Amino acid sequence: MSAALRIAVAGLGTVGSGTLQLLQEHADLIAARCGRMIQVAAVSARDRQKKRSVDVSAIRWFDDPVAMAGEADIDVVIELIGGSDGIAKQVIERAIAAGHSVITANKALLATHGVALARSAEAAGVTLGYEAAVAGGVPVIKSLREGLAANSVSRIYGILNGTCNYILSTMRDSGREFADVLAEAQELGYAEADPAFDVDGVDTAHKLAILTALAFGCEVNLAGVHVEGIRDVSALDIAYANELGYRIKLLGIASRSNGGVEQRVYPCMVPASRPIANVEGVFNAVVAEGDFVGTIVSEGQGAGARPTASAVVADLIDIARGTSLPTFAVPATDLAPLPSLPIEDHVGCHYVRLMVVDRPGVIADIAGALRDAEISVEALLQRGRAPGEAVAVVITTHETRGLAMDSALRRIESLDSVLEPPRRIRIEPL
């Protein structure tokens, strides 16, 4: 058996502690699979006295994770601190400069600085592993970089945030509103005290930007991602979606065309018959479409100590085996700066819900706005009568360009019979 691989772990929170626990519980299994022992040589965290699920008293402790990352007797640095800049970035840069391979679960950092870090790592001849950064324990990075390496991928999409999926699933099952279910998710530990990162779509955008680079061999372009969150999805919209044969999911979708790359994060209506429509609770799912393999669906736990630790250690085993691949499937110096296509140019179908005063002529005014924007209506629903009172009107459209839909909605919102801003949810047939 080869000499032990010596690792340093920066960050001993949920994932860091889970990683140490996995390495302890499966030490012999891991050694057998990679031909050498994994030795935890050093750790670093903010609070040395904090009670943890694993005992680190016998491991060399560093108060300064950046100094630890530069130690000469380390082979691999695992960064589990988090954050797109600051200490996490310094740890990775120091490790690469010292000739150490790096493993990270930090999607925000990779979405922001991934190309620069990949170029530095590849120039130094070390590995930058990040299986844990997207979809937790679901091996989507390995699938794209290795399993689908012979395919031209045309589209990749998925449920990439378990918090949002839990909220939307629970809203549908219970009929409750967003704010109520969010509060429950916070009590259960599925949502942070400040949930903006999740519910506003930012976390999904980070992950989608990484997947886009992997799938299409382009530079990571977070600024090119169109992002919408789920705060405005109501129980009424979810009920109408069910009636129309859809389920509402927050999806990250990336597709490639001759003109460039589309990257879109938003809540959308998905036909209930599609596999991804039936991914529930805190689970994640990723779908990739390759020209030879067809459609591949991967589903599993997207967060938590054990699933994420599994992904971290999978990267570690590859390094221990001597497996080395370009960070984003092709050499970082060859990543293409593909242009981002604006959401206004996206062609698709739409669901629109309006709250209007129930009086003669309202539907004609709405139809006129859609007609003038050259938008074809697929269906129109209005339940009941309430003369002079507010009623819901639901419209679904045939495919139309986003810019035309934006124009029509602005005109519709200006009508004095429309009582609140239109609620628009895009329909994705997938």
List residues with catalytic annotation.
207
How many residues does the structure list for the chain? Answer: 430
Main-chain dihedrals φ then ψ at residue 290, nearest 5 degrees: -110, 150
Rounded Cα distance, 410 and 184, in Å:
35
Q: How far apart are CA 301 and CA 251, in angstroms?
A: 16
Q: From CA 37, how far away is CA 30, in angstroms rounded?
A: 7
Q: CB of 351 within 8 A of CB of 241?
A: yes
Give the chain as a 3 state SS string: CEEEEEEEEECCCHHHHHHHHHHHHCHHHHHHHHCEEEEEEEEECCCCCCCCCCCCCCCEEECCHHHHHCCCCCCEEEECCCCCCCHHHHHHHHHHHCCCEEEECCHHHHHHHHHHHHHHHHHHCCCEECHHHCCCCCCHHHHHHHHCCCCCEEEEEEECCHHHHHHHHHHHHHCCCHHHHHHHHHHHCCCCCCCHHHHCCHHHHHHHHHHHHHHHCECCCHHHCEECCCCCCCHHHHHHHHHHCEEEEEEEEEEEECCEEEEEEEEEEEECCCHHHHCCCCEEEEEEEECCCEEEEEEEECCCHHHHHHHHHHHHHHHHHCCCCCCECECHHHCECCCECCHHHCEEEEEEEEEEECCCCHHHHHHHHHHHCCCCEEEEEECCCCCCCEEEEEEEECCEEHHHHHHHHHHHHCCCCECCCCEEEEECCC
Place of tokens 């600024």: 223
Which residues are CB-contacts of 194 (< 8 A; sequence separation ≥ 6)?
Answer: none
**Residue 147 in tokens:** 């399993």
